[in-house]
Amino acid sequence: MQLPLPRRDTKSFPREMFLIALLVALQEAFAAPSAAPKAEEINQGVDWLIKFGYLPPPDPVTGQLQTQEKLTRAIKAMQRFGGLEATGVLDKATLELMKTPRCSLPDLSELDTARRRRSIQALTKWNKRNLSWRVRAFPKDSHLGHDTIRALMYYALKVWSDITPLNFHEVAGNNADIQIDFSKADHNDGYPFDGPGGTVAHAFFPGEHHTAGDTHFDDDESWTFRSSDAHGMDLFAVAVHEFGHSIGLTHISALESIMRPYYQGPVGDPLKYDLPYEDKVRIWQLYGVRESVSPTARPEVPKNEEHPLLPDLPENRSTIQPRKDEPDRCTTHFDAVAQIRGEAFFFKGKYFWRLTRNKHLVSLQPAQIHRFWRGLPLNMDSLDAVYERTTDHRIVFFKGDRYWVFKDNNVEEGYPRPITDFGLPLGGIDAAFSWAHNDKTYFFKDNLCWQYDDQERRMDAGYPSETTPWKGVPETLDDAMRWSDGAAYFFRGKEYWRVLDNYMEVDAGYPRSIAQDWLVCTGMQSDSPNSRAKPRQGHHDESRSENGYEVCSCTSSAHFLWPWQPHQLPTGHILSLWTALFLTTVL
């Protein structure tokens, strides 16, 4: 005779009776008494089956009982989903699989009908193609730097955008479609974490709810990159899985699938990782195939293609050879200065220097402009001005009577075009920037200033003006930019001026030295371009200039207005790289 099994209800059914009933119900399922699990293991096993959708949750109102048949069927479903022999026995292999680190989300068990699966998939799909993301909360104690984590998030999302029409853009603020958090224990979303091991991450499906697309990683885990399983959880592998949920994919039982619910260890180099074909087919069913991708063949990677780069790739490094025409960043004045993707770019001649948002100079040696923005003339000896449009995050380059528009590192079709498109006269401009206060773009030439509306694509009435809106700004400029602190910065010669957001005059204590505050040209560097800040030792690590490569953060179509981050890299740490890092061999 088979005894009915109670649904777990600690309020209406004593725990001891619950375990006794389970033991009686399961005893016939084991070939020998020695194979029978302990009461604690049975308790944990049933909890696990309920947690991940194989058994219905307890009902404190009805106290409904479950039969041994239902429990056996649930175990078999779990075993099939996990790639085990479907015996219905809570044996050692099954218990070990239950202890394997995995995603927090329930599985769509094999008991689900095809109709239910189709209805769920129909509800879990984004109705737009451009999705924004942001790392809102970083790990509290991790050897992975913020830039590395953001880079891994970028590449994990890129795995999906490479084969679908979806585009992911990193943004600042609280309005990102996909908010990424590292959290511990109960973090108020209904899926509490359980410390090291167990559940390691989860993500929410697309929808209208405020958590749609959000992705959470357990901050109690030891997150790693390019380490063995024994040293923690590979962040890239887990992120690819969770972002699959964020765009609508459910768990699948296929052993080779990235959407298998169990942690399977590192998946290899993020630059070369290719989704299993079954995962491609499932995501194509939701969104279709990206135009540049063949649904029947794996894309071939050209041997000479320059890939984005993540930290710790010493095999790709080479010795930088000095160039005869390379300008001295400490004594020069700059042709153009711009904020691009939240970072500062200083252009001089055919070269540029880059500072991360944490105000780290990436390299003492400049990178070549044409190696990053391919489409600019190879014989171009300098730029007049550069700015990033706030409307679509395109990057606009000016030289003489022409301008070029880039999406990330690639020139848009149909460029260059004449600057008269903006309503500007022929003859070139000196500076251009978008002011955070009103999102208007300002162009400067000699003592003239124009105000342009990028949204409407027209020049505002009343311009040009012989006076600028900001008191104390020089009449002629080399360039200007908005910065992550919300202020506007104006550059001329070897000095710069700052105007705080909502203020119409230069801040006290300016002008200040560009070389000292931005480009690590003395033994002292201010923590930020702020006259009130006490100078301290420069952040730049001289060893970074020996890394043999230059990086550019222009492969993620995003716009940043982030505040300064207090995190500083330790001396001797490898060059910090962020989202979309592009390798260039400096000749």
Catalytic residues: 242
251 is in an annotated binding site: yes
Q: Would you say 269 is a known binding-site residue?
A: no
How far apart are the two ends of the chain, measured CA to CA in Å? 82
Give the DSSP letter string of 319-373.
Answer: PPPP-TT---TTT---SEEEEETTEEEEEETTEEEEE-TT--BS-SSPEEHHHHS
Q: Is 59 annotated as a binding residue?
A: no
- Is 210 labelled a binding residue? no
Q: Which of 157, 143, 170, 586 is nearest to 357 (CA)?
A: 170
335 is in an annotated binding site: yes
Is 241 among the annotated ligand-binding positions?
yes
Residue 177, marked binder: yes
Please give the Cα distance from 160 to 155 (Å, whole number).
9
Single-letter amino acid code for the residue at 497 = W
Spatial separation of the C-alpha atoms in residues 452 and 444, rounded to whole Å: 11
Do the annotations mark residue 421 as ligand-binding?
A: no
230 is in an annotated binding site: no
Residue 110 labelled as part of a binding site: no
Q: What are phi and psi of 114, to 5 degrees?
A: -60, -35
Residue 478 marked as a ligand binder: yes
Q: Give the whole-angstrom CA distance, residue 12 versus residue 47.
A: 17
Check the annotation: does 103 bind a ligand. Answer: yes
Beta bridge partners of 444: 431, 449
Q: Is 570 helix (H, G, I), strand (E, B) or coil?
A: coil
219 is in an annotated binding site: yes
3-state class percentages of the chain: helix first, strand second, coil last, to nearest 5: 20, 20, 60
Give the DSSP letter of residue 374. Answer: B
Is 312 assigned a ligand-binding role in the annotation?
Answer: no
Give the closest residue to 141 by CA, choosing from 219, 196, 232: 219
216 marked as part of a ligand binding site: yes
221 is in an annotated binding site: yes
Query: Which residues have a Cβ under 8 Å from the Cβ of 202 and sit 6 or more positions away?
Result: 103, 104, 105, 191, 215, 216, 242, 245
- What are the counts of helices (DSSP H) followed by strands (DSSP E) for the chain? 10, 29
Q: Check whether 548 is labelled as a binding-site residue.
A: no
Between the alpha carbon of residue 557 and those of residues 143, 207, 354, 580, the distances in Å are: 27, 23, 17, 9
195 is in an annotated binding site: yes
For residue 168, what are the contacts with CB-CB under 8 A and spacing of at least 6? 131, 132, 133, 154, 157, 158, 160, 161, 178, 556
392 is annotated as contributing to ligand binding: no
CB 437 within 8 A of CB 501: yes
Are residues 430 and 336 in contact, defined by beta-carbon separation less than 8 angstroms?
no
- Residue list for the binding site for Ca(2+): 141, 177, 194-195, 214, 218-219, 221, 335, 384, 432, 478
Q: Which residues are annotated as a binding site for Zn(2+)?
A: 103, 187, 189, 202, 216, 241, 245, 251, 259
Residues contributing to the annotated binding site: 103, 141, 177, 187, 189, 194-195, 202, 214, 216, 218-219, 221, 241, 245, 251, 259, 335, 384, 432, 478
